[in-house]
């Protein structure tokens, strides 16, 4: 029995990951964070590098600075892990703070 000789990886072809796919991976990764209530993501892919733009609603009273830094690190880790791409930039805009408390309105 002889072993098959595989061509160099460069000769096998190219894999392209669309912006939309990377954005969906980032959105799923954002949903893993307990302080994220909602997320809308965009990604721009250039070769093997991607830049992310994410708009999130956070759970109130989460500390915004700490929550966004934790989210940024998590997004970089998960997107790189799941796509094999390098994340060059993650811009985060907090668009809402949502309280878990239910308002009790009085009937007048």
Task: Render pLDDT for 14-63 as a digit per residue (tens, 0 to 9).
Answer: 888 999 999 999 999 999 999 999 999 999 999 999 999 999 999 999 99
Distance CA 46, CA 16 (A): 10
Contact, 69 vs 98, CB < 8 A? no
In a domain, 26, yes or no: yes
In a domain, 4, yes or no: no
Work out how many domains the chain is built from and give that number. Answer: 1
Q: What is the pLDDT of residue 14?
A: 81
Is pLDDT above 90 for 9? Answer: no
User: Which CATH number belongs to the domain containing residue 71 in this structure?
Assistant: 3.30.70.1350
Q: Full-prediction pTM beyond 0.85?
A: no
In a domain, 59, yes or no: yes
Distance CA 27, CA 29 (A): 5
Distance CA 45, CA 18 (A): 7
* pLDDT-based confidence at residue 1 (cuts at 50, 70, 90): very low
Q: What is the pLDDT of residue 7?
A: 57
């Amino acid at each position: 029995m002889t072993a098959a000789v595989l061509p160099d990886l460069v000769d096998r072809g190219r894999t392209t990951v669309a912006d939309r796919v990377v954005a969906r991976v980032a959105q799923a990764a954002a949903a893993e964070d307990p302080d994220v209530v909602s997320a809308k993501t965009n990604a721009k892919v250039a070769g093997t590098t991607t830049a992310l733009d994410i708009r999130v609603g956070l759970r109130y009273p989460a500390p915004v600075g700490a929550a966004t830094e934790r989210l940024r690190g998590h997004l970089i880790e998960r997107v790189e892990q799941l796509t094999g791409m390098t994340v060059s930039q993650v811009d985060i805009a907090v668009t809402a703070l949502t309280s878990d408390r239910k308002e009790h309105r009085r009937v007048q």
